[in-house]
Structure 1
Amino acid sequence: MFYQRFTFRLLFSLLLINSLALLLAYLVLKTQLWFTIAGVSCIFLISIISLYNYINQIRADIKRFILAIKTRDHTLNFRNKSTKGSFPDLYSSFDDIIKTHKDIQLEQDAMFQLIKTILQQVPVGVIVLKDDNTIPEQAEISFFNEAAAALLKVPAYKYWHRLKEHLPLFATEIERIEKGGKRFLELKIQDKLIQLSTEVIPINLYNTNYRIISFQNIKDEIEQKEIEAWNRLIGVISHEILNSITPISSLSDTVNTMVANKDSLNKEELEDLKPAIQAIKRRSIGLLDFVKDYRLIAELPTPELESHSIGEILQHIQVLMQPFAAAKDVKLSVGQTSSKITINVDLKLVEQALINLITNSIHALENVDHPQIEIDYRLEQSKLFIDVTDNGKGIEPELTEKIFVPFFTTRKNGSGIGLTITRNIMKMHYGNLEVSSIPHEKTIFSLVFNYI
């Protein structure tokens, strides 16, 4: 009803208080009706107190509502006041807001439990670390899934320093990439060697820094890949050896037949022996060259990392390869040689990798109109790419993986070790070698370095 409305009640109270004030002033100034004056005074004070309590109650209700939202107290309700109070719409809105807030909180909690359950079930170890900038050693672990506890053979610790005491090597390696990145770790836990692929992702939520640490044991996967790699390598080696040994064996048998049971040979027989012996020599030299190439792959030196600018690397390779490219009528373009971006590399090994790629590109440009090679770099997220791009014949999709197998080559006189050596050099730099190709249009080989 209208008399319950705040506006009416406020106006009525103010009108009553003003009327009583005027009446009280008249009685005091014009009359001596002291009992009437006392009664009017009491009514006047009661009206003021009533108005104050009424307004203060509304203020208190708003304060309770705000506090309930801040503290996520969803038990508060204004059902009675939303039907009987002076502000039914306001109190009804309060109830709706509290209910909506409660539903959102329940939905968030349900989603959190769902994500938590998923993370508990995945075979990847996940640790969420809440960084404490004041006392780093006392950093709190917000989440520690079952896979992490199983892989590391530790309980789900609550604080980072406890885990560090138990697994100092693991903790130290994680702290080295605390700003983000990947690392390969070998740990011996309970007399068992495990190989972990580890990644750290820093994230800031509500002005709090977290580190998401994920890791998985890739020992079985690596062993499987090693077996596959060995099988491919053995297949290539067997093919090369058989190609050399079969004619050597056949020619040796022929020579043995020719000289068996003979004390001397005439000139004609000697002339017949010469081609066989020369063929044995050629195949033997070929076999020796093959073994030398194999040793070249296996005996790459350990990188001596030093800080070098990209511009310096590109300038060196331009000086080295420009004459060779010019001799083959290939246009070699090297960009951004003034770049000051620096990375830690072994300059000689990286130059060797680039020489291998450029040499391959030059061979791929034979019989191509307007042959050209472009060398440049680019930054993408936390990676630095040095790209060698050519417009040669390219690589067919089915050959993309085979080209990295040692001794596999599509060139008539190629050794098949250039790309293998280049990829090994990049692995030594904790990087990678990537390739993308559109046959007869564009091929890009990229040296990929971590850049943090």
Structure 2
Amino acid sequence: MSFHIKAFLRIFTILLLGLLAVVVFEQKLNYSLVLISFVIIMLFVEFYYFQKKYYNTIDRVVLAMLYEDYSLKTSKPQKNDTFDNLQKLYHKLQNDQMKNEVKELVYLNILNSLETGIIIFERKVDTWELFLVNNYFSELFDIPKVKTWYNLNRLLPSLTNHITQLGFKESKGSIDLQIENENKQTFMLQTSKTVSHDQEYFIVLLDSIQNVLDKKEKDTWENLMKIISHEIMNSLTPIHSLAHNTQQILNDNTELTSEDLEDIKISVQTIVNRTDHLKHFIDNYRRLTMLPSPKKQITNLKSLLNNSIETLQPLFKKSGISVKVNLADNVLLNVDKQQIEQVFINLLTNAIYAVLKQPTKQITVDLYEKNNRIYIDFTDSGSGIAEEIQHKIFIPFYTTREEGAGIGLPLSKNIVEMHNGYLTYHRREERTVFSLNFPLY
């Protein structure tokens, strides 16, 4: 029976007894009137506690949901419709909280697994309090996971002072931080703000520049050693096999037949070819690692580019490649003419190979000034470089061409960087672009 029917029956009973009391009063039956009045009062008291119990139950469940206390575990069926609906709502919110806790745990694990120092501040009226410090930040600065601004300021005053000077505004740049009495280290710092449910958060990301450089250097060396090992083993394996084969022929025969001599001749020729390949490989490595310092002089880049294009003109004609140039006049730069010309020829040669099998064979060279820098773009109509190998194109000896040595791009990159410039690759409007840029002196 529902609460409403029970309440209705109680009220109906009290009303009937009230009418009976009026009749008894009119007949002046005093003792009966007192008895009926007492019963009515007791029914009122019982009705009060009946309702109180009902609403106390509702109040208790509502308060539990309000304070997100879902420790109550009950699945007992409720006869009362209101209680049943309330229990369903309670279980739904309980499940939602469990799901949110799982999500928070996943997000927290992600933040703690990132190799970036992360601090999140939460706005509290007129102050900022620490909301989260991830594991990497704690390990990076060798400090415990602080929970207050006071402790963070005590351990890393240079960071808190910098954030205060920023005024908790979004920024991106570098910062020098000193950890206890150690030397200062340079970090990349990026800050941002976000608002969620009227609550403001300030996020600080820190990356050690040295760690980033060390990782890139390590990755580069690992890739380089793989390629060098591959090249050396490609030569040593047949040399080792053929040398043992020749030794066996010489040991097993006192008199050599013409067939034995032919085998020895082929083996020796193969060994010579492989050693020549190794010598060529080592010579390329020496060219790459023993690059002389630039002998700089003021150079007209337009003239230098035209000379480079003229040098390769026979190859352009033979392959049916059209070359379009957009060169600004009187662009002067202090460079080593021979080295920079070598870079131009390397990039133009790569562009030739890139467009050989394309229906449209076109190379465009642009020379222009922008933002106090000089840019030289070599654009070709080739299909571009596969995304999965783009990070390898500047690794020495890595090549996708059968006859390529794999030193053109690394050598060009080294030369450009020795001139305080950059060599980059990207795709623009379905075309491949290798772009050089140098500071304008």
Q: Tell me how far 1:408 sits from its aligned partner.
A: 0.8
**Residues 120/306 of structure 1: CA separation in 2 closer, same or farther (3 Å cut):** farther
Q: Does 1:385 align with 2:385?
A: no
Q: Tell me how far 1:231 sits from its aligned partner.
A: 1.0
**Residues 386/125 of structure 1: CA separation in 2 closer, same or farther (3 Å cut):** farther
Letter in 1 for 2:337: L
**Residues 237/333 of structure 1: CA separation in 2 closer, same or farther (3 Å cut):** same
Partner of residue 8, structure 2: none
**Residues 151/391 of structure 1: CA separation in 2 closer, same or farther (3 Å cut):** farther
**Residues 125/387 of structure 1: CA separation in 2 closer, same or farther (3 Å cut):** farther
Q: Does 1:291 align with 2:291?
A: no
Q: Does 1:301 align with 2:329?
A: no
Q: How many residues end up aligned between the 2 structures?
A: 274
Partner of residue 316, structure 1: 307
Q: 1:279 aligns with which of 270, 284, 287?
A: 270
Q: Tell me how far 1:217 sits from its aligned partner.
A: 6.9
Partner of residue 348, structure 1: 338
- Name whichever of 291-300 and 367-376 sits farther off: 367-376
The separation in 2 between residues aligned to 1:286 and 1:197, in whole angstroms, is 44
Q: Does 1:247 align with 2:238?
A: yes
The separation in 2 between residues aligned to 1:419 and 1:319, in whole angstroms, is 21
Q: 2:317 aligns with which of 318, 326, 346?
A: 326
Note the residue ranges of structure 1 that are not aligned, 5 or more in a row.
1-109, 112-116, 129-144, 154-189, 199-215
**Residues 377/196 of structure 1: CA separation in 2 closer, same or farther (3 Å cut):** farther
The separation in 1 between residues aligned to 2:263 and 2:400, in whole angstroms, is 35
**Residues 382/438 of structure 1: CA separation in 2 closer, same or farther (3 Å cut):** closer
Partner of residue 363, structure 2: 373
Q: How do 1:42-121 and structure 2 match up within 5 A?
A: none
Letter in 1 for 2:313: Q
Partner of residue 178, structure 2: 150
SS in 1 for 2:382: coil
Letter in 2 for 1:229: T
Q: 2:352 aligns with which of 362, 368, 385?
A: 362
Partner of residue 435, structure 2: 446
The separation in 2 between residues aligned to 1:436 and 1:380, in whole angstroms, is 18
Mapped contact 1:325–1:331 kept (Cα < 8 A): yes
Q: Tell me how far 1:270 sits from its aligned partner.
A: 0.9
Q: For residues 103-162 of structure 1, give each alpha carbon's deviation from its aligned partner in whole angstroms, at most 9, with x where no partner exists.
A: xxxxxxx89xxxxx9997659989x9xxxxxxxxxxxxxxxx996473898xxxxxxxxx
Partner of residue 247, structure 2: 256
Q: 1:428 aligns with which of 418, 426, 436?
A: 418
Q: Tell me how far 1:412 sits from its aligned partner.
A: 0.9
SS in 2 for 1:363: helix
Q: Does 1:237 align with 2:265?
A: no
Q: Which runs of 4+ in 1 moved over 4 A?
A: 117-126, 194-198
* Identical-pair percentage: 33
Letter in 1 for 2:411: I
The separation in 1 between residues aligned to 2:297 and 2:219, in whole angstroms, is 34
The separation in 2 between residues aligned to 1:313 and 1:152, in whole angstroms, is 53
Q: Tell me how far 1:399 sits from its aligned partner.
A: 1.7
**Residues 122/233 of structure 1: CA separation in 2 closer, same or farther (3 Å cut):** farther
Mapped contact 1:389–1:442 kept (Cα < 8 A): yes
Partner of residue 96, structure 1: none
Letter in 2 for 1:296: R
Letter in 1 for 2:364: E
Q: How do 1:128-147 and structure 2 match up within 5 A?
A: none
Note the residue ranges of structure 2 that are not aligned, 5 or more in a row.
1-125, 128-151, 166-172, 189-206
The separation in 2 between residues aligned to 1:123 and 1:319, in whole angstroms, is 59
TM-score normalized by structure 2?
Answer: 0.54
The separation in 1 between residues aligned to 2:160 and 2:304, in whole angstroms, is 42
Q: Tell me how far 1:242 sits from its aligned partner.
A: 0.7
The separation in 1 between residues aligned to 2:386 and 2:257, in whole angstroms, is 55
Letter in 2 for 1:257: Q
SS in 2 for 1:335: strand
The separation in 1 between residues aligned to 2:351 and 2:178, in whole angstroms, is 48
SS in 2 for 1:430: coil
Q: Tell me how far 1:437 sits from its aligned partner.
A: 2.7
SS in 2 for 1:369: coil
Q: Tell me how far 1:377 sits from its aligned partner.
A: 1.8
**Residues 124/316 of structure 1: CA separation in 2 closer, same or farther (3 Å cut):** farther
Partner of residue 211, structure 1: none
TM-score normalized by structure 1?
Answer: 0.53
**Residues 416/195 of structure 1: CA separation in 2 closer, same or farther (3 Å cut):** farther
